[in-house]
Amino acid sequence: MIKIGMLIGDRYEILEKIGTGGMSDVYKAKCHKLNRHVAVKVLKQEFSENANFVSKFKVEAQAAAGLMHPNIVNVYDVGEENGIYYIVMELVEGITLKKYIEKKARLSAKEAVSIAIQVSMGIEAAHNNGIIHRDIKPQNIIISKDGKVKVTDFGIAKAATSNTITSNVMGSVHYTSPEQARGGFSDAKSDIYSLGITLFEMLTGRVPFNGETTVAIAIKHIQEPLPSPRSFVEEIPISVEQIVMKCTQKSPDRRYQSMGELTQDLKQSLMTPDKDFVKMVDPDAEGATRAITDNDVEKIKKEKAKKRAASENIRLKKDVEEEAKKKQKSKNKKPRHQVVEEPDVEEEEEEYDPKMEKMTTILAIIMAVMIGAIVIFLVGRAVGLFHFEGRNDEPEEEITTQVEGEDLSGAEGDLETEVDGEEKFAVPNVLGLSLAEAVSQLEKEGFKANKEEVSSDTTPKGMVAGQIPGPGESAPRGSAVTIQIATGVNDNKVRVPNVIGLTEMDATVSLTEAGLSVGSIGQTTNEDASLQDKICYQSYSVGSYVAKGTTIDLKVSIGPGESSYSFIGSIAGPGEEDENYTSGTDTTVILTAANGVELYRTTTAAFPLSMNITGIKGVEDGTITFLYRVTIPGSSVTNEAGETVTTEATTEDRSIQRSVKFAKE
């Protein structure tokens, strides 16, 4: 029986009850070993008494403890004490998605898709580690105060579905896949179905199937077609509707085949919500008989091998833990009824080694003798027992200087460091991370974490504003790193993420998840060839804090820019080339680059003409063309016969070209 104030596992002090579910109660607790708050989920008595369930629960929960992802509630520890079975998890301050939907009635398509993207990325990480959730629903999705979406209850779900537990106890029948409702095999595509139903509820504020009994609802999942979410909310974009419908196909083969595929379409829908891009599987083509290919055979073999390997890893892990328990029991000689604490998943304690214990004992004796010798020497010298004639006193002064002013424990510490020669390692950078992420990162590198609160105008509440030792500094494995948690800036402020180098789609997703809006997306040149077709500019600095909903403008690189040239000068009229040109004649002046691009055109009668053309790309030569009309005057000439021959005046169009050089900008 769990009571407030009790200590379980010799480290977790139960502080308060913060939630309850069909199978477990959740408590806030303090881990005295690492000085942090955690969530402790305790199985209810009816499940704790089911030996088969407990066995599966422990194996699956221990497997889930290996998952580390920002969109998953991390499992730190699994334990048992006096018939109480519990798992220790990351404490996430926030509300469940279920309560969030109830609070808002329904979510906008943009917000629902953003949440679904984070959920799918978390589940994908689990699938990649061979773990299927089997109980995806809004109650198992938490939205933290800083807007992070996290999936919880990995491990406990599989243990539950592996045993005879009624659907009303699990509370999951509204989200269960048809294959689960039939009691058949379920896999990653079952999680995809459940996420599709969850997305449906986010968009419409209701579940697609309801009924008086759980059996009636389960039958609807098996038999009835899913209603379109647009039949309840007309403004839902077509791509979002199609994503929901593809996720919730009755046949697993007609759904998305992986969370990765689903995530890509969800991201695309943020970019182009009204575009018809979702590829639905053709039922007729899927139902047709077809020969199995070599690739299909190879895929099946790999899938079977992967499942066998996962099962073997879990079995071996369980065997090792059982062997460790036996050794611990033998060492401590505890009564048979006493429960031995399981190996700490988080700390990975070393097994007992007799040789190591003997060596440690010898070292302790040596240190004790050395310390005793120093103490005897100091006392003897002080009372005049030791006096060295004819010896230089400098060594004595040196010894006195080294020990003077220090107590015995300080001298002992120096000697221990000298004897052990403890190796030091670089402290990881946890600045800007949440408390849970920082603790997880430090523990992963072999360090412990101490928490202290500091005020900060630049770091949001709950995030790491400083650390001691600092990033990259050296410290022994197992030593404590103090992480300074900010008491917070304005809750309406969010941190601008770095989207430089991302595709337009991924940048949009990243900014949306951060609570920001995407403004204009333009194009520009950039000298970094690796950024071509990727974001090379964002209108707010990375790491700065802005109000939620702030619009961020982006620019996509079209590649390294060409050299730019300019042409600045006064252009004389065509009279320099044509003596028939008359000043004041209307003349069309055209400036053309060597690549044929027309840069300038005007008609004028006044010369010289001022010209100032900049931004000429890629060419340094050009041509000025003059188009004008000249008048050739008439004349009277007397020929040899004495006759006067008169020629009338005529006009003609002329074209003069002049080569020019451009100056590099």
Q: Is 325 exposed, middle or buried (0-12, 13-18, 19+ CB in 10 A)?
A: middle
The question of whether 135 is a catalytic residue gets the answer yes
Cβ–Cβ under 8 Å, residues 378 and 399:
no
3-class secondary structure, 56: helix
3-class secondary structure, 85: strand
Please report the sign of the dihedral spanned by the C-alpha atoms of residue 222, residue 227, residue 232, residue 238.
positive
Q: How many residues does the chain have?
A: 665
Q: Are strands 149-151 and 141-144 parallel, antiparallel or unpaired?
A: antiparallel
Longest dimension (CA), the chain: 156
Which of 170, 151, 149 minimizes the C-alpha distance to 159?
Answer: 170
Write the DSSP string, 398-452.
HHHHHHTT--HHHHHHHHHHHHH---EEEPP--TT-BHHHHHHHHHHTT-EEEEE
Q: Find tokens 């791509």 and name the residue.
A: 239
Q: Please state, in angstroms and as integers, the Cα–Cα distance from residue 174 to each residue in 109, 181, 190, 608, following that order.
A: 21, 10, 13, 83
Which of 88, 81, 54, 77 minimizes the C-alpha distance to 340?
Answer: 81
Q: Find tokens 């101490």 and name the residue.
A: 450
Cβ–Cβ under 8 Å, residues 565 and 662:
yes
Q: Find tokens 């005057």 and name the residue.
A: 633
Which of 183, 257, 175, 190 minimizes the C-alpha distance to 220?
Answer: 175
**Catalytic choice (135, 146, 191, 265):** 135
Cβ–Cβ under 8 Å, residues 588 and 627:
yes
Which of 487, 451, 445 minimizes the C-alpha distance to 468?
Answer: 451
Whole-angstrom distance, CA of residue 614 vs CA of residue 591: 12
Residue type, 459: T
Annotated catalytic residues are 135
